[in-house]
Amino acid sequence: MASKAGGVNLVHCHRNSTIEEKMDELKARKRALADSLFERDGQIASALTEDDVKALFEA
C-alpha cells in the first residue's frame, strides 16, 4: 500500500495483466492450435473448424 502525494489516506494498487502477458497467452493459444493441425511428418492432422478460424483472428 502507498499514499498519494500530499494525501493522508492509503491507496490500494491492483496490478492487472500487462499487454505483453496477454500477447504471450494469445500467441501460446494460436501456437497450440497450429501444432494440432499438422502431424510431425507435415501431413494435415485435422481440418480447421469455424471456431478455430475465429480464434486465429481474435485480438
Helix (H, G, I), strand (E, B) or coil at 38: strand
Cell 504471450: give the residue.
24
pLDDT in tens, 43-52: 887 788 888 8
Longest CA pairwise span in the chain (Å): 66
pLDDT in tens, 1-45: 555 566 677 777 767 778 888 889 989 988 888 888 888 887 887
Which amino acid would we find at residue 24?
A: D
Q: Alpha-carbon Rg of the chain, whole angstroms?
A: 21
